[in-house]
A and B are shown apart, each in its own frame.
Chain A
Amino acid sequence: MKAKWFSTVLAVAMAGMLSMGCAGEKKEEKKAEAPAPAAKKVLVLGVAGAQSGDLASYGLPSVNAAKLVAKDLNAKGGVNGMQVEVLPMDDQCKPELATNAATKLVSEKVGIVLGHICSGATKAALPIYKDAKIILMSPSATSTELTQSGSYPNFFRTISYDLIQGKAAAEFAVTELKVKKVAVIHDKGDYGKGFAESAKKALEDGKAAKVVLFEGITPGGVDYSAVIQKIKSTGADCVLFGGYHPEASKIVTQMHKKGLKIAFVSDDGVKDDTFIKTAGADAEGVYATGPQILADNEVYKKALADHEKEFGSKPGAFFPQAYAASQALLNAVAKAGSTDYDKVVAALQNEYIETPVGKIKFDAKGDAEGVSFSVYQVKNGKYELVK
């Protein structure tokens, strides 16, 4: 009996104190966040996305980005005299939880929302925001139809969509690298497969190169050598990969181990410094498409420095896009004078703003204008622009 109680205590203690230990840390953060005396009115910026579960690493950086932008603006007196408050809302990238998060944000009377992270979750949540006339801006949902289909007028994004990314990667491979046989690989995900499919389509339409292989790999796998042997047997001279950096780095390393040294072209999800860290020397020479972040972009430099100062670490995936989206949203509210739907939309479409991804405004469909899109290559442990 004794042992039973003891273990129960351990269980609860473990959970409890973990939360306490971490909560202690969190409280400090909060103190730092709100230096201004409690303002009368607050503008709530909802941040929805995967904040737990296996995709948390793509959703949590956007919470940090929103917090940094909010802190910055609050120090300057807020937006329209209102202090900006960040309200994170987890959806684990699951459609069902996304609708819960969305209705929660609507009930909390948020003005604007940054998110969601995954295209699927975004599609599930959008009708709810649309009904409540809330504007949504995603840093990472790349599904083409979100903007191009025209059925989601309240949706904006700071990342370019699959069709453009896939086409850019395919064109780059054909015209610049002069490849003839391409193996298109994806991670079976929403994002990766979308990219791969549009790349495949662009290659087939272009007719300059042949798609010799189109396959999905299982994300999280420990070993991709079988699919690498298969690529080798097809005689491909280029791999186009749609997906995120963990799989990309595994594939690249294992390709090199098996002596397969052909061009590797990938997407925005791979254009991340974590990729270079995990793949190490094998990352050299890898191409990835992504928004052009100029080395001398002052906003981005500042964002990076702030992140380092505030959270003691380097930002994660989609951080620049999320930072830009927070800026664009809050700027539009400031310019519109309120969170009135039509005014904010007009402001988003007309007011340029300097962001980490360039000086941007939004077109009628909701895609960002002014994000220069280019191909990068890893050189000496850094992503460098391919001229």
Chain B
Amino acid sequence: MEYFLQLFFSGLSRGSVYALIALGYTMVYGIIELINFAHGEIYMIGAFMGLIVAGVLTAMGWPVLSILVIAIIVSVLYSAAYGYTVEKIAYKPLRGAPRLAPLISAIGMSILLQNYIMLAQTPDFLPFPRLIPDLDFMERFSMFLGTSDLFIIVTSLVVMVALTLFIKFTRMGKAMRATAQNRKMAMLVGVNVDQVISATFVIGSSLAAVGGVLIATHVGQINFVIGFLAGIKAFTAAVLGGIGSIPGAVLGGLVLGWTESFATGYVSSDYEDVFAFCLLVLILIFRPAGLLGKQRAQKV
């Protein structure tokens, strides 16, 4: 039983990492139906911004927690700016183009950003300082969960709730839902679609940056390719939960984390990804729109 619990919590902390990245992913997808391959790269840039801020402030001798807060704020601002620019360069001109065109420019953008960071910073791995201090009361649970794991889980849940409320109740949120349902109709009723999409990218990228900094400090190292795997996992998690659904992204992330963790624990970590993808196929066969996705009736 204890072994089971350990695996459960391993899955939880791994899953919450996936969930945190998937939140931004699913949001962008929900609005413009684009598999945004550059999302992982924005996450990576967020982590690098966090590292740079942390590096400068550490050299100046600031206290750890204030560094964490400032690093997250700066990284959010910059990543949002990157997300905004990326959208303006690579996706906006392609509105109305065939569906796969933005997918390819997203792949191009992903290659571009990766190499940009590699050249401007370093190809090597960089240590990321531990900015989350260990809380005393977590000591008792250290067998199961560390403080930074807890931090990430709580952040994912807070972000999930905040996003859901935002989309449900604010004016912008309503505009987003309208755009997601039918872009042309939204335009007709006076929604500024360009603005809505920009806002989506800004929010999605900010979330990626929060994830970037928290996960980097949890893992302890970053380099220019971390975004790639993160992007794929987030994509999988988002689809598993029902793409476009915000609680779905968190659920999908956790299910993915648990599957991998239990597969490792009871079978072999050699095939953890195989199990994860097989589960994905199974879920999609029985629920073709994901766990929490809406089954839309096909209109003829």
Asked whether the complex places CB atoms of A and B closer than 8 A, the reply is yes
Residues of A within 8 A of B (CB): 3-4, 6-8, 10-11, 14-15, 18, 22, 52-54, 56-57, 60, 188, 215-218, 220-223, 225-230, 232-233, 245-246, 249-250, 253, 257-259, 274, 277-280, 313, 316-317
User: Which residue on B lies nearest to A233, using beta carbons?
Assistant: B3
The total number of A-B Cβ pairs within 8 Å is: 130
| Segment touching A, from B10-18, B27-35, B60-68, B243-251 | B10-18
Contact assessment for B89 and A215 in the assembled complex, using a CB-CB cutoff below 8 Å = no
| Segment touching A, from B116-124, B155-163, B277-285, B292-300 | B116-124
Q: Which of A11, A215, A259 contacts B268 (CB 8 A)?
A: A215
**Chain B residues with CB under 8 A of A3:** 88, 92-93
* Minimum C-beta distance from A216 to chain B (A): 5
Contact assessment for B127 and A277 in the assembled complex, using a CB-CB cutoff below 8 Å = yes
Q: Which of A22, A216, A258, A316 contacts B269 (CB 8 A)?
A: A216
Of residues B116, B123, B124, B142, which shows the largest number of chain A Cβ atoms within 10 Å of its Cβ?
B124
| Segment touching A, from B73-81, B167-175, B259-267 | B259-267
Q: Which of B17, B120, B269 contacts A227 (CB 8 A)?
A: B269
Contact assessment for B269 and A7 in the assembled complex, using a CB-CB cutoff below 8 Å = no
List residues 33-82 of chain B with CB under 8 A from any CB of chain A: none
What is the CA–CA distance of A224 and B3 in the complex, to the nearest angstrom? 15
**Chain B residues with CB under 8 A of A249:** 220-221
Q: Report if B90 contacts A (CB, 8 A).
A: yes
* 6 closest cross-chain pairs (CB), A and B: A223-B14, A226-B264, A225-B10, A226-B261, A56-B123, A226-B10
Contact assessment for B89 and A11 in the assembled complex, using a CB-CB cutoff below 8 Å = yes
Q: Which of B124, B230, B261 contacts A274 (CB 8 A)?
A: B124
Contact assessment for A274 and B125 in the assembled complex, using a CB-CB cutoff below 8 Å = yes
Contact assessment for A229 and B265 in the assembled complex, using a CB-CB cutoff below 8 Å = yes
Of residues A10, A225, A226, A316, which shows the largest number of chain B Cβ atoms within 10 Å of its Cβ?
A226
Interface size on B, residues (CB 8 A): 53
**Chain A residues with CB under 8 A of B115:** 52
Q: Report if B223 contacts A (CB, 8 A).
A: yes
Contact assessment for B221 and A226 in the assembled complex, using a CB-CB cutoff below 8 Å = no
What is the CA–CA distance of A277 and B125 in the complex, to the nearest angstrom? 10
Of residues B10, B14, B88, B228, which shows the largest number of chain A Cβ atoms within 10 Å of its Cβ?
B10
What is the CA–CA distance of A188 and B269 in the complex, to the nearest angstrom? 10
A to B CB contacts below 8 Å, 13 in the list: A6-B88, A22-B119, A54-B225, A57-B123, A215-B270, A223-B10, A225-B13, A226-B262, A229-B3, A229-B7, A245-B125, A274-B124, A316-B123
List residues 178-237 of chain B with CB under 8 A from any CB of chain A: 215, 218-221, 223, 225-226, 228-230
**Chain A residues with CB under 8 A of B215:** 222
* Minimum C-beta distance from B238 to chain A (A): 17
What is the CA–CA distance of A350 and B218 in the complex, to the nearest angstrom? 51
**Chain B residues with CB under 8 A of A232:** 6
Q: Report if B146 contacts A (CB, 8 A).
A: yes
Contact assessment for A259 and B228 in the assembled complex, using a CB-CB cutoff below 8 Å = no
**Chain A residues with CB under 8 A of B269:** 215-218, 226-227, 230
Q: Which of B13, B112, B219, B270 contacts A15 (CB 8 A)?
A: B112
User: Which residue on B lies nearest to A228, using beta carbons?
Assistant: B10
User: Which residue on B lies nearest to A279, using beta carbons?
Assistant: B220
* Minimum C-beta distance from A6 to chain B (A): 8
**Chain B residues with CB under 8 A of A215:** 264, 268-270
Q: Report if B143 contacts A (CB, 8 A).
A: yes
What is the CA–CA distance of A3 and B90 in the complex, to the nearest angstrom? 12
User: Which residue on A lies nearest to B13, using beta carbons?
Assistant: A223
User: Which residue on A lies nearest to B115, using beta carbons?
Assistant: A52
List residues 101-137 of chain B with CB under 8 A from any CB of chain A: 112, 115-116, 118-120, 122-127, 130
What is the CA–CA distance of A245 and B120 in the complex, to the nearest angstrom? 22
Contact assessment for B220 and A7 in the assembled complex, using a CB-CB cutoff below 8 Å = no
* Minimum C-beta distance from A248 to chain B (A): 11
**Chain B residues with CB under 8 A of A4:** 92-93
Known: A18-B119, A225-B10. A230 touches B264 (CB 8 A): yes
**Chain A residues with CB under 8 A of B11:** 226
Contact assessment for B93 and A57 in the assembled complex, using a CB-CB cutoff below 8 Å = no
What is the CA–CA distance of A15 and B89 in the complex, to the nearest angstrom? 12
Q: Which of A10, A57, A223, A277 contacts B223 (CB 8 A)?
A: A57
**Chain B residues with CB under 8 A of A317:** 124
Q: Which of A53, A221, A225, A278 contacts B220 (CB 8 A)?
A: A278
Contact assessment for B124 and A220 in the assembled complex, using a CB-CB cutoff below 8 Å = no
What is the CA–CA distance of A316 and B124 in the complex, to the nearest angstrom? 7
Contact assessment for A218 and B273 in the assembled complex, using a CB-CB cutoff below 8 Å = yes
Contact assessment for A52 and B118 in the assembled complex, using a CB-CB cutoff below 8 Å = yes
**Chain A residues with CB under 8 A of B90:** 7, 11
Known A3-B92, A250-B221, A316-B123; further 12 A-B contacts with Cβ < 8 A: A8-B93, A11-B89, A15-B112, A216-B269, A220-B225, A222-B17, A223-B13, A225-B14, A225-B261, A258-B142, A277-B127, A280-B127
**Chain A residues with CB under 8 A of B260:** 226
**Chain A residues with CB under 8 A of B122:** 57, 313
* Minimum C-beta distance from B281 to chain A (A): 19
Known: A215-B268, A221-B229. A10 touches B143 (CB 8 A): no
**Chain A residues with CB under 8 A of B14:** 221-223, 225-226
User: Which residue on B lies nearest to A281, using beta carbons?
Assistant: B130
Contact assessment for B125 and A57 in the assembled complex, using a CB-CB cutoff below 8 Å = yes
**Chain A residues with CB under 8 A of B218:** 222
What is the CA–CA distance of A56 and B223 in the complex, to the nearest angstrom? 11
Of residues A8, A54, A250, which shows the largest number of chain B Cβ atoms within 10 Å of its Cβ?
A54
What is the CA–CA distance of A198 and B155 in the complex, to the nearest angstrom? 43
* Minimum C-beta distance from B228 to chain A (A): 7
Of residues A188, A223, A228, A245, which shows the largest number of chain B Cβ atoms within 10 Å of its Cβ?
A223
**Chain A residues with CB under 8 A of B92:** 3-4, 7
* Minimum C-beta distance from B34 to chain A (A): 16
What is the CA–CA distance of A274 and B222 in the complex, to the nearest angstrom? 12
**Chain B residues with CB under 8 A of A10:** 85, 88-89
User: Which residue on B lies nearest to A18, using beta carbons?
Assistant: B116
**Chain B residues with CB under 8 A of A53:** 225
* Minimum C-beta distance from A89 to chain B (A): 16
User: Which residue on B lies nearest to A227, using beta carbons?
Assistant: B269
What is the CA–CA distance of A8 and B220 in the complex, to the nearest angstrom? 37
